[in-house]
Structure 1
Amino acid sequence: MGLALSACTPAEVPVAVRIANAAPAVSVTARGETTPVGTTNADAADDPAIWRNASDPAASLIVGTDKKAGVYVYGLDGKVRDFSDAGRVNNVDLRDQVVINGAPGILVAASDRNDLARAKLALFRLDPATAKLTPLGTIDAGVGEAYGVCFYRDATALYAFMVVKDGTINQVAIDASGTVPTGKIVRSLKLATQSEGCAADERTGRLYVAEEDVGLWRFDAAVTGSTTPVKIAAADNRNIVADAEGVAIAPVGEKDGYVIVSSQGDNAYVLYRLSDDSYVGRFRIVDGAIGGSEETDGIDLMLGDFGPAYPGGLFIAQDGHNAAAAQNFKLVAWGDIEKALGLQ
C-alpha cells in the first residue's frame, strides 16, 4: 500500500485513504451556511471574509467570492444581501476604519485574475447599513495570475499582500483616501511553487502563507523586514494533507493564539500555536443539521461577539461539495471548535 500511494499525487489517492492515513481530527458541525453561489456545476465558491458589527453583532456581514463571477455579501443568516459582478476574482479580505475618499469605511480587496498575465487588486467599499458593495476600481499588483490576498496594517500604512500563483508575494501599499485608490508595490517575497492562502497578524507583524504542495510558512510582514521565509509545517500528508489552502488567525492575548490552515486533501483544518509554531490539533466540519465541508479552499475566522448562535467567534469555510447544490460557505462557532480541541 505504501508503495502504491507514493506513486500517486494527493488528488489521486481516494479521500477515505487520505483520511485514514492522516492524523486524528475531532469533529464539529456547522451552525449555519450561505446560499450557494450562482455558478453551478463548477469549482466556484472560494474565499470568505468577515466584518463584525460591534454594536449589533446580528448585523455582521460575510463577503465571499465566486471565482467565476464576482463578489457576494451575505448576512449571518446566510442570505445574499448583495452581489458585485467583478468577473474572475479569487480571494478576498477586508479592513474597517480605512479612509476611503475622505471618510472612514470598510475596504474590501479581491484578487482580480481577469487578466492572467497581470495581477490586480479589485477594491470595493462595503456599506454596513445596506450591505452593498461599491466598486472603487483596480490597482496593479504585479506580473502573473492573482491568487491569494490579505490585508496588513501597521502604524503608518495599509498594505495588501498579493499572492501570485507562482509563489511570488507582492506587498502593495494602498492609499484609498483620494477620489481614485492608488497602490505601489513596496516589496516582493517568494515561495518556490504555487501558493494562495495568506493571513497577517498585525499584533506581531507576521505574515502566514500556504504553499499548496509544500506547507505553511511565515514571513516578517514589515516593509523593512527579512524576506526569508520560516517553515512552520510541511504538507506531510499527516497533519497537512496537500493541498495546503486557506489560512486564518485566532489571536489570543498580546502575542499568542493560533494560525489555522485548510488541509484540503483530507477535508480537515489544522491549528498551530502562534507563539512557538507548535502543532495544536486538527478538526473537521462533519454532517449535522447542516452538511459538512469538503475540499476547502478559503477560510476566515474572527473572534468576538456574533450573538448566541456563534459563541466565541465565527469560523467560515468554503465547502467544495455542497450536496447537489452549487458550492457555498459553512459557518461554525469558534466556541465549538475550542471545546472539541480542549482549548477552553
Structure 2
Amino acid sequence: MKRTRSLCSGVLALGTALAALTAPASASAHPGAPLPSVHPRAETPTLYDDEEGGNADADDPAIWRNPEDPGRSLVIATAKEGGLRVYDLAARPVQSLPAPVPARPGDAPGRFNNVDLVHGLRLPGGRADVAVTTDRGGDRLRVHRIAPGEGAAPLRDVTDPAAPRIFSADQDEANEQRTAYGLATWTDRRSHRSYALVSRRERTEIALLELLPTPSGTVSYRPVRTLRLPAAFRLPDGTSWTPCGDPGELPQVEGMVVDPATGTLYAAQEDVGIWRMRADLAGAPRLVDRVREFGVPAVHDEETGECLPGADPGFGGTRLAADVEGLTLLTGRDGRRYLLASSQGDDTFAVYRRDTGPRTPYAAGFRVAPGRGVDGSEECDGAAVLGAPLGRAYPHGLLVVQDGHDDTAEREGTNLKFVDLGEVLRRTGL
C-alpha cells in the first residue's frame, strides 16, 4: 500500500488481530476514597475555536526551562489551527506562531496537535533546544528552535521545507486527516540520536522517526519503523471486544511520553488504556492499565453520533475514565519516579509508579479544582510537568494542564492552568 511505503522501512505489526488481555487492573490502595484537590495559580487567556476567536483551541503543552534564568522559562503549547502559543510563567502570551496555510484551495490547513522538546539537538551552528510539533493538516513534523535571547520571538521555525509526510502518500491523502496526531520525543542515551514517536489519527499506528539536522541548519526526519497496537481484544470470558467509534475509526493514541532513563514509551490509547513498550518500538507492548469502559459493548447511533453502551461485564480498570489523554513524567519528593495520566472522562489525574521493574502500579490521584480566582480543569487533553525550580513563582516545579471546557467567558473556550508542583506532591503524598 502507498502509505506503508511512505511510512517505514520496517513494521512491527500487532494489527487488528485479537489481543489477549494479560495486564491486571491497577492496584487500589484506597478504593472509593475521595481524591485530593490542587488549585491553579494562573491561567492563560482563553482561546476560541470559532470564526470570532480565530479557530484556536488550546491542546498540548511543554515546559522549557531557561538554564541561565529559570524564572524566565517558557510554556509552549499547541493551539491546533491557531498554531503555537508561547507563554511566560505568569501565563502571559509571549509569542504566537501561525500554522501553515493550505497549499491549495480546499486542502486541509495546518493544525498543530501535540508538542514536545528535544534538548541539545546538534545543528550546524551548535547544539540547541527545539520544540517539535505534529502538524495534523499537512501530516508532517514542524521544528522550532528555542532562542530565549530573542525577546518577544523566542521560537524560530527551522523545519526542512523538504521534510516528508509521515503517514500519507500525498496531500490528497493527508486531507482525509488520518495523519500525524500524538507525539513524544526521545534521545537515545547510547547513540545520542534524537527521535520523534508519532501516532496516527483514527488508526492504531505509532511511527518512530529519527530527527536529522541538515547542512543548511534546518531539521528533517526519516522513518525507522512502526508499531501497530491492537484494535480488538480477547476478553476473559472468551468474547472479543472492539471499542466503539465512528464508522471506519480505530482506537487512536494521542498522549505519549518517553522515560529517558529506561528508554520506555508510555502511550495512551484513548478508549483502551495505557501501554508500555520500548521507545525504539522493537519489543512487544504491554497494557498496564485499562479504562473503566474497557470491554463494555456499545453501538454507534448514527442519528446522535454517540456510542450507546450496553451492560458492563466488569473487565475494565478502576482509575481511568475514557478518554485517557495526556501523559507526563514526574519525580516525587522521595526520588521515586511516576507517570501522570489525564483521565478526561471524570476530570481527574492518575499517578503510577514507573520504577518497579515490569509493573506500573497506581500510586495516587487528584483533581485540579478552582482556586484563587482561577477555575479548575475539565475535559483535559494535554499535561506537562517539570520538576525543577523555576524561580520564585514555582520553586518546586510546575504542572501545566489543559482545560478543555473554560466557561468563564461569554462563550466556551479552552486554556491552560498553571499549578505549583509542590502542592501536587504535598496533597498526594508523593
The TM-score bracket by the shorter chain reads 0.7 to 0.9
Structure 1 residues 101 and 34 mapped into 2: Cα distance closer, same or farther (>3 Å)? farther
Does 2:210 correspond to 1:173? Answer: yes
Task: Structure 2: state its 5+ residue gaps.
Answer: 1-30, 100-109, 169-177, 232-250, 294-317
Quick check: 95-104 or 119-128, which moved more? Answer: 95-104
> C-alpha displacement at 1:22, in angstroms?
7.3
CA contact (8 A) 2:56 2:83 kept: no
Does 2:70 correspond to 1:57? Answer: yes
> C-alpha displacement at 1:142, in angstroms?
2.4
Return the letter of the residue paired with 1:141.
I
Quick check: 140-149 or 264-273, which moved more? Answer: 140-149
**Deviation per residue, 1:233-257 (Å, 9 max, x gap):** 1011631010000000114699941
CA contact (8 A) 1:38 1:66 kept: no
Structure 1 distance, partners of 2:89, 2:215, is 32
More strand, by proportion: 1
Identical pairs, percent: 35
Structure 1 residues 253 and 142 mapped into 2: Cα distance closer, same or farther (>3 Å)? farther
> C-alpha displacement at 1:164, in angstroms?
0.9
Bigger radius of gyration: 2
CA contact (8 A) 2:369 2:376 kept: yes
Aligned partner of 2:221 among 172, 175, 183: 183
Q: CA RMSD in A?
A: 2.2
Alignment of 1:143-222 (within 5 A): 143=168, 144-154=178-188, 155-156=190-191, 157-165=193-201, 166-179=203-216, 180-191=218-229, 192=231, 193-222=251-280
Aligned partner of 1:333 among 416, 420, 424: 420
Aligned partner of 2:352 among 272, 287, 291: 272
Q: Secondary structure at the match of 1:312?
A: coil
Query: Counterpart of 1:260?
Result: 340
Query: Counterpart of 2:44?
Result: 34
Quick check: 234-243 or 280-289, which moved more? Answer: 234-243
Query: Counterpart of 2:291?
Result: 235
Task: Structure 1: state its 5+ residue gaps.
Answer: 1-20
Query: Counterpart of 2:154?
Result: 132
> C-alpha displacement at 1:167, in angstroms?
1.8
Q: Secondary structure at the match of 1:321?
A: strand
Query: Counterpart of 2:397?
Result: 313
Structure 1 distance, partners of 2:355, 2:377, is 29
Structure 1 distance, partners of 2:319, 2:380, is 15
CA contact (8 A) 2:132 2:143 kept: yes
Structure 2 distance, partners of 1:81, 1:190, is 38
Return the letter of the residue paired with 2:287.
K
CA contact (8 A) 1:95 1:107 kept: yes
Structure 1 residues 28 and 135 mapped into 2: Cα distance closer, same or farther (>3 Å)? same
Does 2:114 correspond to 1:91? Answer: yes
Give TM-score scaled by structure 2 length. 0.70
Structure 1 residues 255 and 172 mapped into 2: Cα distance closer, same or farther (>3 Å)? farther
Q: Secondary structure at the match of 1:122?
A: strand
Aligned residue pairs total: 318
Aligned partner of 2:87 among 74, 77, 91: 74
Give TM-score scaled by structure 1 length. 0.87
> C-alpha displacement at 1:32, in angstroms?
1.5
Structure 1 residues 58 and 253 mapped into 2: Cα distance closer, same or farther (>3 Å)? closer
